Amino acid sequence: MTNNVADHHPGNSVAEGNHEGDFGCSMVELRNLMELRSAEAVARLNDSYGGVQNVCKRLKTSPVEGLSGNPTDLEKRRQVFGQNFIPPKKAKTFLQLVWEALQDVTLIILEIAAIISLGLSFYHPPGGDNELCGQSTGGVEDEGESQAGWIEGAAILFSVIIVVLVTAFNDWSKEKQFRGLQSRIEQEQKFTVIRKGQVIQIPVAEIVVGDIAQIKYGDLLPADGILIQGNDLKIDESSLTGESDQVKKSLDKDPMLLSGTHVMEGSGRMVVTAVGINSQTGIIFTLLGAGEGDEEKKVKKGKKTGAPENRNKAKTQDGVALEIQPLKSQEGVENEEKEKKKVKVPKKEKSVLQGKLTRLAVQIGKAGLIMSAITVIILVLYFVIDTFGVQGRPWLAECTPIYIQYFVKFFIIGVTVLVVAVPEGLPLAVTISLAYSVKKMMKDNNLVRHLDACETMGNATAICSDKTGTLTMNRMTVVQAYVGDTHYRQIPDPEAILPKVLDLIVNGVAINSAYTSKILPPEKEGGLPRQVGNKTECALLGFVLDLKQDYQAVRNEVPEEKLYKVYTFNSVRKSMSTVLKNGNGGFRMYSKGASEIILRKCTRILDKNGDPRVFKVKDRDEMVKKVIEPMACHGLRTICLAFRDFPADAEPDWDSENEILSDLTCIAVVGIEDPVRPEVPDAILKCQRAGITVRMVTGDNINTARAIATKCGILLPGEDFLCLEGKEFNRLIRNEKGEVEQEQLDKIWPKLRVLARSSPTDKHTLVKGIIDSTVGDQRQVVAVTGDGTNDGPALKKADVGFAMGIAGTDVAKEASDIILTDDNFTSIVKAVMWGRNVYDSISKFLQFQLTVNVVAVIVAFTGACITQDSPLKAVQMLWVNLIMDTFASLALATEPPSESLLLRKPYGRNKPLISRTMMKNILGHAVYQLTIIFTLLFAGEKFFDIDSGRNAPLHSPPTEHYTIVFNTFVMMQLFNEINARKIHGERNVFESIYRNPIFCTVVLGTFAAQIIIVEFGGKPFSCSGLTLSQWFWCIFIGVGELLWGQLICTVPTSHLKFLKEAGHGITKEEIPEEELPEDVDEIDHAEMELRRGQILWFRGLNRIQTQMDVVYTFQTGASSLQGALRRQPSIVSQHHDVKNVSSPTHVALSSVNSTPTTSAVAAAAASPPAGNQSGECVP
């Protein structure tokens, strides 16, 4: 590669002959060219290359036909210019993950304890058998056994290794799953290019330099390129520059298109000049990679403040980077300031569940730490007082090692209490549950991009849904028409329409629509024709075909190059117009758009003879009443077709749009039907039953919207719900200055069901208003669906954003949390079901886990204090911990959801994780288990007629007595695991247990393992074999758990006022007012807790952090730089990460007040919104 070419030649001479692979320009030259902007770029293009057409020549491509698509040619291009792929960051190796799992503080304490124990067991002091050292050594039988003192230490180490491997494997498989998900999202992203004159869609990774790509509204550009031909093209470059204003692109002013930017308006074609790591986004990624090592270290230390400077260093180190920010001077300064401010900014709260879990874990950790400390202190004091005080022995030098061995034993017991108290299984349960749900949700057409969205969905209280495509089928067809003073209730016969009018209709539709919209023959015989591109345009093209005309012929006559000027559709215009130059030098413009908007600009209308006649305001009002309202009340969307001729003498000023778009002549008005999906009314009923309010937000006419909402069941007859238009909505909620007033909004949203003719800003305002509202008893959790570019801000603001997989633009998918692969509303209901299931699974696990914890800690604590030795040995505790934590989390976290989940109201943000009923179950079962264990401990030897295991000397062999205690304990846990399957106090705990094979496997597997441990575990597990009758007693006591569970169910919770709930979410009151800003980065409640000096406890819960880290991995790069570095830079995730680097604070998508634009579909589709000037049936 002659990478230095560019350095030797002066700016504008281009070295011929010296270019790799005989292309007319090298990669470096193109890369340097792409770094220029606007006028500079145009100048360099023309001086050095002689314009875009010549760049195409040098790259051996045709601006019209595209590349030949010959494999050898494509391969050569890949070799010379690189491929369109940004290599992902290396995944962590398994060993790295093992090392991370070893950082867990509790494990480290255990390791140290085990090593000391091992060391001491091999050290036999000379005076070890001295009588004066107390009852430290047992009887004669102990001689052989004392050699086995190392076993306990070794067993602890062994179980630590198992725990570490399980954790590491878990993290590793999750990382792998996440990468799989990312690559799946990547493969699904396709882009339109022209090859051999054919317009085809290829995966983004296959784009090569020299490809001619078609770009249109809503695209995320996959590579850098130069514009060849464009209509009204506006790009949002905020992801690279941080400037939210849209940049107009044109051949003469600024033809440079950059990867990772968004097309907000218009369409065009570009020649690709840089791909992969040579594109602007790629360059930034390479820089990111450079600064990565230090950043990860800094982030690890938790000094988030360290990262920004680092980031700027990375920029200045490399000249290339500076060019990325054209507005360096000012923006750099702003950035510095923002960074200073940024440190103090409190952040938006994390997902509901994470917040609750973190707080709960911190609370449990504290309790465990205190208990274990007390245990150790009591044991040590008791031993010291007893040995040196009561028995009055002197401290002999040669006895020291033996005493130390005692202290180590006490220390190990203390650590074991701590280990059992901390619920390591909690993060495991959460991740297993979420990962399992995400996998299964794929089958239900939900592609989850951010793991926690899945659980937030279970708390959703409101869904704001689009109409087109989500509630309706998005298969538009023209069913009525008004042409030449006649209202046809079905498609008219072509003979009934005059040829000249027919001609106007055909041209007005074929030419004045995106050439990417077409109707293709059906895939299967007898199927419906396929609609490609914008659905509203497809409906009009279908209308032309129904009139037995051919639109393709017209398009072949007038290719896109011949279009003189195009005003593309956007959410402000709500119309589209195309200007053609006539043979005589005059111009003709075809327009189409929402009927009320276009009719307001019409001064004439074609009568039944096809001649224009004057069209006055009163004519218009009459037409609205007679034609448009009846169509709208049937749920039809009305589109008006019109045209205007400009004389040849003087060319109009094309930039003054209002002048141009006036004085039109109306050709026809058509009514387009978009039928409601058959399964939607049922799904909406389910939502309402589940306590979720469904609101429809649409760009359509209010009558159409009301008709559809009634069909769906969003509006019920006889209820006083509001249907508002965007204008009216804004009038009601804004003050004189035009600012949104929350009190006003709070009066409206609870009753609002339909918002029609709404702009993207209205949608965002509504979502934000509902989320920020404090009216109800708890904060609303809002889900939003969107498909258009302009829905980005609303999708981002919502708690859960759903993007449409089929109709959605890249921008919408990028801003969303879940992608609906079938664009169907019923999939949202499925998501709610899964979300609630995740929540319940975790509660089930908690109910089970906490019972084990409470009992094990109390037993270990009291046992140790009364008998100087924990009845449950360290190794047994670790086994209990392993089965109870890891396996139970597997068993309880994989329960499949059932429809009954949709019969209760959502939990809401501040409902505690552990409800009163659960607390009753936990304490009730704990009472049973403690009673049994203490009875066995202090009277078991009499009952079973065996030797007492209490007060055994240090290295004595395991006793049957303590083995029975351990075995009974495990049996009770096993049967209690079945009780834990229900958390709302249901009686039938076996209900549909067969639907969950994992649960059955785990329970039976644990049972089998327990038999092996007791019978063959011997010294390491401190077990000795039991007789059959003893086994039966253990199992019988275990089964008693199920009966006791029924007894607990009978006690009404309402009588137990003293029960506390635990694991609340953070309530509004606890966050100071000024800490509730708008769009700030996220914070987890852990950080809030930490600030209160609880860093110590939390370190002990490091495992929970690491596991949650995984949950973060699934969240956007935007949530932290670490996230950005950890995620695979897929094309989809690129623009967030880039944002993250170039200007940390512009995380929101283009700021909402920049001209909002509409999704390709909802847009040209939505018969474009306007105020309700016609006084239609507004309730």
- Positions annotated as catalytic residues are 466
Count, residues in the chain: 1179
Nearest to 271 by CA among 22, 27, 25, 66: 66
Is residue 174 a contact partner of residue 142, using CB atoms and an 8 Å limit? no
Which residues partner with 590 through β-bridges?
578, 643
Three-state helix/strand/coil letters over 533-551: CCHHHHHHHHHHHHCCCCH
Unique residue bearing structure tokens 């230490």: 153
Interior/surface letters 834-869, b for 16+ CB within 10 angstroms, e for the rest: bbbbbbbbbbbbbbbbbbbbbbbbbbbbbbbeebbb
Q: How many of the other CB atoms lie within 10 Å of CB of 716?
A: 11
Nearest to 590 by CA among 605, 579, 601, 574: 579
Q: How many of the other CB atoms lie within 10 Å of CB of 537?
A: 30
Instruction: Determine the residue type at 852.
Output: V
* Planar angle of CA 266, 272, 274, nearest 5 degrees: 125
Nearest to 460 by CA among 776, 909, 782: 782
**C-alpha to C-alpha distance for 491 and 547, rounded to whole angstroms:** 8
Helix (H) or strand (E) holding 225: strand 224-236
**C-alpha to C-alpha distance for 529 and 1068, rounded to whole angstroms:** 53
Phi, psi dihedral angles at 647 (to 5 degrees): -70, 165
Is residue 788 a contact partner of residue 535, using CB atoms and an 8 Å limit? no
Burial of 622 (0-12, 13-18, 19+ CB in 10 A): exposed
Nearest to 391 by CA among 134, 139, 138: 134
Which residues partner with 208 through β-bridges?
none
Coil, strand or helix at 246: strand
Sign of the CA dihedral with 915 first, then 917, 923, and 928 last? negative
The pairing of beta strand 752-756 with beta strand 602-606: unpaired
Sign of the CA dihedral with 1011 first, then 1015, 1020, and 1022 last? positive
The pairing of beta strand 446-448 with beta strand 782-786: unpaired
- Distance, CA of 1068 to chain centre: 24
* Planar angle of CA 118, 123, 127, nearest 5 degrees: 140
Unique residue bearing structure tokens 């060019």: 323
**Contacts of range 443-446, beta carbons closer than 8 Å, 24 or more positions apart:** 444/827, 444/830, 444/831, 444/834, 445/805, 445/820, 445/821, 445/822, 445/824, 445/827, 445/830, 446/818, 446/819, 446/820, 446/821, 446/827, 446/830, 446/831, 446/834
**C-alpha to C-alpha distance for 772 and 1071, rounded to whole angstroms:** 14
**C-alpha to C-alpha distance for 253 and 255, rounded to whole angstroms:** 7
Is residue 574 a contact partner of residue 597, using CB atoms and an 8 Å limit? yes
Which residues partner with 834 through β-bridges?
none
**C-alpha to C-alpha distance for 937 and 862, rounded to whole angstroms:** 11
Helix (H) or strand (E) holding 783: strand 782-786
Burial of 1043 (0-12, 13-18, 19+ CB in 10 A): exposed
Phi, psi dihedral angles at 51 (to 5 degrees): 90, 170
**C-alpha to C-alpha distance for 699 and 569, rounded to whole angstroms:** 13
